[in-house]
Homo-oligomer: A and B are copies of this chain.
């Protein structure tokens, strides 16, 4: 039979068993060894091929494991596979579009960027060195689903001292970004839950909510914060708000409005306020604005915080503080869930907070951003009121309104030609929102200090044609 005709080459680098395995496999695939055919015994084949019985056995075991042959006790080995195995029709090789790469951009004023120049690399490196240590074997295994206790305690300590929130570390959930935490939260809710979202506001959240099959409604803003009339009219169950620093205008929700929102939430068990305490660390006049969670005596506020702006976006660590009712659901129902953040990173961050590096870093960044903020304002000042900066003295971006007759489209076209990325307000607003003049969100944090003047002059040139 064919099988005895195999030639094994002892001079090449491929193990003999593998040569034999490959030969038999090809014989089966090409139907020279048909289904049901009995193979020679291991002893016989070994003798014939002048190899050890062990070699034949290893080859047979691999064929057995991959399901090409079967073993019948006290009878021997039989071909199990049918032929034409590797003849599954080949589709024409499809072209895969490449992951998009940014074309030549001179300056990107994305509000998601931060100043990376003064990140405390050496402290971060030192803490990594300490945590990645032979004595920390345990850190290699899975940790707590809500995030490790050390980090949750450090976060509780931080939100108490920086934001006045007195929370139990056990109500904190750590996750790889606000989007991940929101997805976990959404997965606990009935799909008939209606969301209200500030308009303009954080539109990515609207996309996320609608992507997951929920109804999202745009809530008008006025000078006191999100419109309570809009909430009464549109009847959302959950509202997503940024009360201490509205995105993108920086508006602070008034104390009256905060009370109205809390009263609204208190009226029904199904109502919750999602407070995204976005950029609250960066306020350049007076004290920081206290969060609504601080006034939340009836446990109706889901508090979202992130280290993206305050530390680095690429770390992917955010957290939420859950009201008790939702926390219980989270634990009961997300039992398949593991933490989404590396434990080494969790412990490095916990030390970074505990050992005072984070506070120091925040104070330093606040000064740098304030300086940039003031410089940007100063550069735009001569062009007032035809180019007008809006909003509060806070955050890592300004909103610029253009009142000289240029349209959003015209401005974006010249910006593109100049290699300048600025972000139109329409990107952050619903289709219904009306703006008397074109507005642009201009993130200044990511532009190096020494190039800030040049960068802003590019915008001014574009806007002041």
Contact with B along A32-67 (1 / 0, CB 8 A): 000000000000000000000000001001100111
Q: Does A113 have its Cβ within 8 Å of any Cβ on chain B?
A: yes
Q: Does A143 have its Cβ within 8 Å of any Cβ on chain B?
A: yes
Q: Does A187 have its Cβ within 8 Å of any Cβ on chain B?
A: yes
State the majority secondary structure of interface residues on A.
loop
**Residues A62 and B207 in contact in the complex (CB < 8 Å), given A256-B67, A338-B179, A338-B316:** no
Q: Does A176 have its Cβ within 8 Å of any Cβ on chain B?
A: yes
Q: How far, in whole Å, are A334 and B204 apart by their CA atoms in the complex?
A: 10
Q: Does A12 have its Cβ within 8 Å of any Cβ on chain B?
A: no
Do A132 and B128 touch across chains, with their CB atoms under 8 A apart?
Answer: yes
Closest-by-CB residue of B relative to A113 is B141
Task: Please provide the chain A residues from 191 to 217 with a CB less than 8 Å away from any CB of chain B in the complex.
Answer: 191, 204-205, 207-208, 211-213
Do B137 and A81 touch across chains, with their CB atoms under 8 A apart?
Answer: no
Do B285 and A224 touch across chains, with their CB atoms under 8 A apart?
Answer: no
Please give the count of copies of this chain that the complex contains: 2
Closest-by-CB residue of B relative to A137 is B116
- Out of B66, B211, B266, name the residue touching A290 (CB < 8 Å): B66
Q: What is the size, in residues, of chain A's interface with B at 8 Å between Cβ atoms?
A: 112
- Residues of B near A94 (CB, < 8 A) are 299, 324
Task: Please provide the chain A residues from 407 to 456 with a CB less than 8 Å away from any CB of chain B in the complex.
Answer: 446
| Given A88-B262, A183-B187, 18 extra CB contacts under 8 A | A61-B285, A62-B286, A66-B252, A66-B255, A67-B252, A88-B298, A90-B297, A112-B142, A119-B140, A125-B129, A139-B314, A140-B313, A142-B314, A180-B340, A207-B336, A208-B336, A211-B336, A314-B342
Can you name 27 A-B residue pairings with CB atoms under 8 Å? A58-B285, A58-B286, A61-B286, A66-B254, A80-B255, A81-B254, A88-B259, A88-B295, A88-B297, A89-B298, A91-B298, A96-B168, A96-B170, A99-B146, A112-B142, A121-B132, A124-B132, A125-B133, A128-B132, A140-B313, A176-B340, A179-B338, A187-B211, A204-B335, A314-B344, A316-B340, A345-B345
A residues near B (Cβ < 8 Å) are 17-18, 21, 58, 61-62, 65-68, 80-82, 85-86, 88-91, 94, 96-99, 112-114, 116-117, 119, 121, 124-125, 128-129, 132-134, 137-144, 146, 149, 168, 170-171, 176-177, 179-180, 183, 187, 191, 204-205, 207-208, 211-213, 224-225, 252-259, 262-263, 266, 285-287, 289-290, 295, 297-299, 312-317, 324, 327-328, 331, 333-345, 392, 446
The 7 A-B residue pairs whose C-beta atoms are closest, nearest first, are A67-B254, A62-B286, A314-B343, A176-B340, A140-B312, A116-B137, A204-B336
